[in-house]
A and B are shown apart, each in its own frame.
Chain A
């Protein structure tokens, strides 16, 4: 990275636009260019250690001795992608019930034990993994190991707890269906992934949850929660010896098992489709545009990721420039790649006032087309690379962040040596690379497009900007598990669920006292 700010910015600064100084008082302020950088320090990927137990459990250790805390994170390689077709939400429910009772402790006893030592415990599942996360102050390290083992290996899955969780989740269906962000993401994923498990809401639907049985949960747990299917990270104020000895002592008797073989059909090839979910009265439309892309471990992932960042990420963000800076059409516009285990997608997203929806959709699609059609300038690529390479030390600031990168590499089968060479690999990306991956993987003619908002405000504008073909579904009739997305009269109202920590959502309502400048 150069030690001085590039000439682009110097020239930009010197050509001042005539604007009015805000301060009325005369300020003697020099006309200046930005100062040069100090000497750049070395950036190295911090130390970590890996160990594998006899039963196949991989253990990652990252020492962190500044704060007297220890964080244990167990990842099990099974998530929504392992849900049977009619049982979406199985991985999620199996995980969410882990801390609601074991063979040894009731749900409230677990809560009591964790809370009384000031610990934190969370469980859950995503598309490709499930997790148990325990944070304690360092003097409770042994307790945390024992608790993690009990929760991961001996969940009770009592009928009472299953019903309790189910009721909670079914209630949340109501709320998620009123959230345009949630609905637009859900419909987008369904369009992109079709009947692949990534296409179903990973917390399930009302239909699938209502039919889930204790037997389903026990079977999922037995099949997937195996030490040779899991990775444990120990991050914190313990020594490597303490970490590995502790993990061995508590988990070595966890019996290994045969790994289930994933049996997944390919997602459908990208096809152009515009789906409008009508929410009358909505003041904004949630806009999601994209298509299938690459799984995380694909060799072209890095280059395509840089291209998408130029389109809508930090260090670039053409979408943000056009939609927010130039035209004030949105508070936030972005694009990102989502690279998962078996497949991936790229998605541009923004939200805009209802009447501007058609214009925003047109501009968004145009930027994707332009990305494919035109070579990026050397300058623009340089800026993106400067950000990504320069940002590297910020992404490994904390021991937990370091562990997260190691876990990601292990989970996706990436080369661990690549962790250290990220800045070099980024800097090696060329304009030709970007052009190649843009041409190969961007398909502006085969986009999945979703608009969730007040259709009456914008639907008549669509053909005027080139979108003649679209479907409109009232939000009250939306059923994500139906082939045509529409609830049939006899089917239960198909609604979907918000996956994340439920309490954090409502805390945010009153806790968030502040407003950020940008996303």
Chain B
């Protein structure tokens, strides 16, 4: 069939533009009220009357980066323990209560935060506040419960990471990319450290981190702000203040001074994988925004640079992408390629490095910049459909940025990023000495080694 690369197609009505125009469409701003209780807890309320439901999240500003060596995985284990009973709530009863009213609840732990969330029909907000306040104030854990839940977390580690193809990718990458900062380990932690967790650690952790001044409550949904604020005051106001300030001393990662190259074999590794990683900056730093745009230029959509070259045109990779992991402390920008049989990993590695170098040597095109901004606008829009999504956006701004106005304000920052900004950040971070190249191979591949230049 003849391919017609037409510019306009009257029959179909498709018009291919040679230059793109930034869409004028922007998402509506959040409408919220933020306040602080006397005990230090932050409260964010945002009404949404489209459905008679309400979503409640409690963010505790503690994650795996707060874990000392020897206690990796503890924040996540503790998250599990938060469901195991408090003064007025029996073990596992929190979620039973939630589901008995038709609600859905869960929790998760990241490097930077531990988040407990549930969505319920809106008439059950008092129940949710009562439950969250009860465990915030009076969590009760004994040795037997700790031991039992520890086994569940070990099964989780096996299930998500050890038993799955490529499951240990993050763990391997971060262990080699970091020497000192606790981003060196991942939130699941190691089996050895999970075994070592003791009941005294549980008490210390609870008193240190699970305090109102370290907590942010978000409520998004069908309610009236004034009434809910009163309820929140009632249930959470009585949680006692922290006795001492929350520690925030996280060991810093010293700058990497020379390129690292490592080749190794790993379990459950069906195909060779190349990772090119650079240390970058933190979420909220001015350089973060052009780095996000760089991620889009490299791998958002099938016309993006890494996809088009490595996966489509040269077929060096089954899957390949480049993106920044931009979180509370400086983390990594990584380009990854999974290499099919018949392709040498070196070819994929060279292509990934070239694509990162290109961002330093040439400006991205106007078209690429506008495309990235339109993609960013789309992300903003589709990331705000549900109450849960809205709550997460607001929480991220309030907790990670410590500035809730960035939930809307970031949009304008992105819209104003220039091509020069993108080149500048590439030059700042994608340097030789700041580069880690990892080649991870199936067992039996024969080639293993590491080198630092």
Query: Which residues of A does B touch, CB under 8 Å?
Result: 1, 3, 5-6, 9, 12-13, 16-17, 19-25, 27-29, 31-43, 66-69, 101, 103-120, 135-140, 142-143, 145-147, 149-150, 156, 158, 164, 167-168, 171-172, 174-175, 177-181, 250, 281-284, 286, 314-315, 324-325, 328-332, 351-353, 383, 386-394, 396-398, 400, 502-503, 505-507, 509-510, 513-518
Nearest CB in chain A to that of B11: its residue: A104
B271, A67: Cβ atoms under 8 Å?
no
Write out the residue numbers on chain A whose beta carbons fall within 8 Å of the beta carbon of B327: 513
Per the CB 8 Å criterion, the residue count for chain B at the interface is 140
* B401 close to A (CB within 8 Å): no
Alpha-carbon gap, A118 to B141, bound state (A): 49
B304, A115: Cβ atoms under 8 Å?
yes
Which one of B108, B142, B153, B187 lies within 8 Å of A20 (CB-CB)?
A: B142
Nearest CB in chain B to that of A383: its residue: B100
Bitwise, B360-391 to A at CB < 8 A (1) or not (0) is 00000001001101111110011011110000
Known: A27-B137, A175-B271, A509-B166. A5 touches B97 (CB 8 A): yes
A37, B187: Cβ atoms under 8 Å?
no
* Total A-B pairs, Cβ < 8 A: 374
Most buried by A among B28, B79, B139, B301: B301
Write out the residue numbers on chain A whose beta carbons fall within 8 Å of the beta carbon of B6: 104-105
* B431 close to A (CB within 8 Å): no
Write out the residue numbers on chain B whose beta carbons fall within 8 Å of the beta carbon of A514: 108-110, 115, 187
Known: A23-B203, A174-B271, A383-B100. A66 touches B50 (CB 8 A): yes
Which listed segment binds A: B157-165, B249-257, B285-293, B421-429?
B157-165
Alpha-carbon gap, A398 to B384, bound state (A): 10
Known: A111-B302, A115-B302. A139 touches B25 (CB 8 A): yes
Bitwise, B309-340 to A at CB < 8 A (1) or not (0) is 00110010011010101010000001010101
B140, A515: Cβ atoms under 8 Å?
no
Alpha-carbon gap, A18 to B260, bound state (A): 54
Write out the residue numbers on chain B whose beta carbons fall within 8 Å of the beta carbon of A329: 151, 155
Known: A174-B270, A332-B159, A518-B106. A106 touches B238 (CB 8 A): no
B163, A283: Cβ atoms under 8 Å?
yes
Bitwise, B119-158 to A at CB < 8 A (1) or not (0) is 1011111110011001001111110010011011111101
Least CB distance from B9 to A in Å reads 5
Alpha-carbon gap, A276 to B75, bound state (A): 37
A143, B14: Cβ atoms under 8 Å?
yes
A41, B122: Cβ atoms under 8 Å?
yes
B141, A22: Cβ atoms under 8 Å?
yes
Nearest CB in chain B to that of A37: its residue: B123
A513, B28: Cβ atoms under 8 Å?
no
Alpha-carbon gap, A233 to B104, bound state (A): 27
Which one of B4, B13, B96, B385 lies within 8 Å of A398 (CB-CB)?
A: B385
> Within B85-113, which residues are at the interface with A (CB < 8 Å)?
85, 87-93, 95-97, 99-104, 106-111
Write out the residue numbers on chain B whose beta carbons fall within 8 Å of the beta carbon of A135: 378, 382
B1, A41: Cβ atoms under 8 Å?
no
A515, B188: Cβ atoms under 8 Å?
yes
B4, A104: Cβ atoms under 8 Å?
yes
B12, A68: Cβ atoms under 8 Å?
no
B149, A328: Cβ atoms under 8 Å?
yes
Alpha-carbon gap, A457 to B109, bound state (A): 32
Least CB distance from A201 to B in Å reads 16
Known: A21-B140, A118-B23, A149-B12. A517 touches B100 (CB 8 A): no
A178, B268: Cβ atoms under 8 Å?
yes
Most buried by B among A3, A24, A33, A286: A24
Alpha-carbon gap, A367 to B92, bound state (A): 21
Alpha-carbon gap, A515 to B300, bound state (A): 25
Give 27 A-B contacts (CB < 8 Å), ordered by A residue.
A5-B127, A9-B97, A20-B141, A25-B207, A37-B127, A39-B123, A68-B26, A69-B382, A107-B302, A109-B5, A115-B303, A115-B304, A117-B374, A118-B375, A139-B25, A168-B318, A178-B268, A283-B163, A286-B163, A315-B99, A328-B152, A386-B102, A397-B53, A510-B169, A514-B109, A514-B115, A517-B79
Which one of A24, A66, A104, A388 lies within 8 Å of B12 (CB-CB)?
A: A104
Query: Which residues of B does A touch, CB under 8 Å?
Result: 1, 3-6, 9, 12-17, 20, 23-28, 50-53, 76, 79-80, 83, 85, 87-93, 95-97, 99-104, 106-111, 115, 119, 121-127, 130-131, 134, 137-142, 145, 148-149, 151-156, 158-160, 162-167, 169-170, 173, 187-188, 199, 202-203, 206-207, 222, 238, 240, 243, 267-268, 270-271, 300-304, 307-308, 311-312, 315, 318-319, 321, 323, 325, 327, 334, 336, 338, 340-341, 367, 370-371, 373-378, 381-382, 384-387
A515, B20: Cβ atoms under 8 Å?
no
B207, A24: Cβ atoms under 8 Å?
yes
B371, A118: Cβ atoms under 8 Å?
yes
Alpha-carbon gap, A68 to B29, bound state (A): 12
A31, B267: Cβ atoms under 8 Å?
no
Alpha-carbon gap, A284 to B162, bound state (A): 8
Write out the residue numbers on chain B whose beta carbons fall within 8 Å of the beta carbon of A19: 85, 140-142, 145
Known: A181-B164, A517-B79. A390 touches B101 (CB 8 A): yes
Most buried by B among A38, A109, A389: A38
Least CB distance from B59 to A in Å reads 12
Least CB distance from A51 to B in Å reads 20
Q: A115-B304, A516-B108 are in contact. List 5 more A-B contacts (CB 8 A).
A: A23-B207, A27-B137, A109-B16, A331-B156, A506-B321
Which one of A108, A143, A178 lies within 8 Å of B302 (CB-CB)?
A: A108
Write out the residue numbers on chain B whose beta carbons fall within 8 Å of the beta carbon of A180: 163-164
B301, A158: Cβ atoms under 8 Å?
no
Alpha-carbon gap, A3 to B127, bound state (A): 11
B308, A517: Cβ atoms under 8 Å?
no
Write out the residue numbers on chain B whose beta carbons fall within 8 Å of the beta carbon of A174: 270-271, 341
A387, B109: Cβ atoms under 8 Å?
no
Least CB distance from B19 to A in Å reads 9
B130, A387: Cβ atoms under 8 Å?
no
Nearest CB in chain B to that of A157: its residue: B1
Write out the residue numbers on chain B whose beta carbons fall within 8 Å of the beta carbon of A22: 138-141, 202-203, 206-207
Nearest CB in chain B to that of A282: its residue: B163
Nearest CB in chain A to that of B371: its residue: A116
Which one of A107, A149, A389 lies within 8 Å of B312 (CB-CB)?
A: A107
A517, B83: Cβ atoms under 8 Å?
yes
B4, A103: Cβ atoms under 8 Å?
yes
Alpha-carbon gap, A179 to B271, bound state (A): 13
Alpha-carbon gap, A42 to B134, bound state (A): 30
Known: A106-B3, A328-B155, A506-B319. A250 touches B381 (CB 8 A): no
B138, A171: Cβ atoms under 8 Å?
no
Alpha-carbon gap, A40 to B124, bound state (A): 9
Alpha-carbon gap, A104 to B3, bound state (A): 6
Alpha-carbon gap, A139 to B93, bound state (A): 48
A108, B138: Cβ atoms under 8 Å?
no
Nearest CB in chain A to that of B157: its residue: A331
Known: A17-B90, A171-B340, A282-B163. A393 touches B4 (CB 8 A): no
Nearest CB in chain B to that of A386: its residue: B100
A175, B165: Cβ atoms under 8 Å?
yes
Write out the residue numbers on chain B whose beta carbons fall within 8 Å of the beta carbon of A69: 378, 381-382
A284, B159: Cβ atoms under 8 Å?
yes
Write out the residue numbers on chain B whose beta carbons fall within 8 Å of the beta carbon of A324: 152
Least CB distance from A254 to B in Å reads 12
A283, B127: Cβ atoms under 8 Å?
no
Alpha-carbon gap, A24 to B119, bound state (A): 32
Known: A328-B148, A392-B102, A510-B169. A283 touches B162 (CB 8 A): yes
Least CB distance from B308 to A in Å reads 7
A1, B163: Cβ atoms under 8 Å?
no
Alpha-carbon gap, A230 to B372, bound state (A): 33
Alpha-carbon gap, A286 to B164, bound state (A): 11
Nearest CB in chain B to that of A329: its residue: B155
Write out the residue numbers on chain A whose beta carbons fall within 8 Å of the beta carbon of B95: 518
Nearest CB in chain B to that of A155: its residue: B1
Nearest CB in chain B to that of A397: its residue: B51
Alpha-carbon gap, A24 to B145, bound state (A): 18
